Amino acid sequence: MIARYKSLMTELAWLGTSMGWTVVTPRDGSLSTEDVVARLGLGDAPDVYTSEPGISGEISFGLVRTSTMLFEANDISYTGRPEISRSLSEGAEVWHVSWNITGQSKLRVALEGEIVVEVPDLDPENAWGTHVNEIGADMDLLRQAARRRWPARRATAMAILEARTGAHLDKEWLDTPRSTVAAE
């Protein structure tokens, strides 16, 4: 998986510069994409339109099994805001990875309205939260990636998100027009 994400970032150079990828999985029952979009706090009825993922200022989304996958190529990830992670995680488990051109990056896990793991700079030495020990093997993968050349750490974080959620980000998904909302 890690090699596939390295390859994807090499093929789509913009992906290695700035992006946010979030997967929202309901803990019990179901959570529609409409419910997830409503939790983004973009107003009472945000305009949903079709667009190719990867356009700055937009959040593309789609259903993957029972989860909703959100993707954005914004300089600062809208879905990576703490208050958005908390909102998205009510009755759900949220995994988020993002980075931007200024070098900021993070891996985050939120459950039931709380951020339970945050890994600033994708550096396990900076990880905090009540559930850090529960993802120890993932932290070991990030430590190993830190010793390799770019984009190893970012590709590893994407592979962790896929392994934990079952969601898969690839060129086909990014090249296919998706339901989209404008981020603030």
What dihedral angle (degrees, nearest 10) is formed by the CA atoms of 140, 145, 148, 149? -160
List beta partners, residue 72: 20, 59
Would you place residue 177 in the very low, low, confident or very high pLDDT band (cuts 50, 70, 90)?
Answer: very high
* Contact assessment for residue 120 and residue 101, using Cβ atoms and an 8 Å cutoff: no
- pLDDT digit string, tens, across residues 102-140: 889 999 999 999 999 999 999 999 999 999 999 999 999
- pLDDT digit string, tens, across residues 47-57: 999 999 999 99
Residue ranges per structural domain of the chain = 2-182
Does residue 150 have a pLDDT over 90?
A: no
Question: Which amino acid belongs to residue 80?
Answer: G
Q: Is the dihedral of CA 10, 166, 177, 17 positive or negative?
A: negative
What is the per-residue pLDDT for 97? 98
User: Nearest 5°: phi and psi at 27?
Assistant: -85, -35
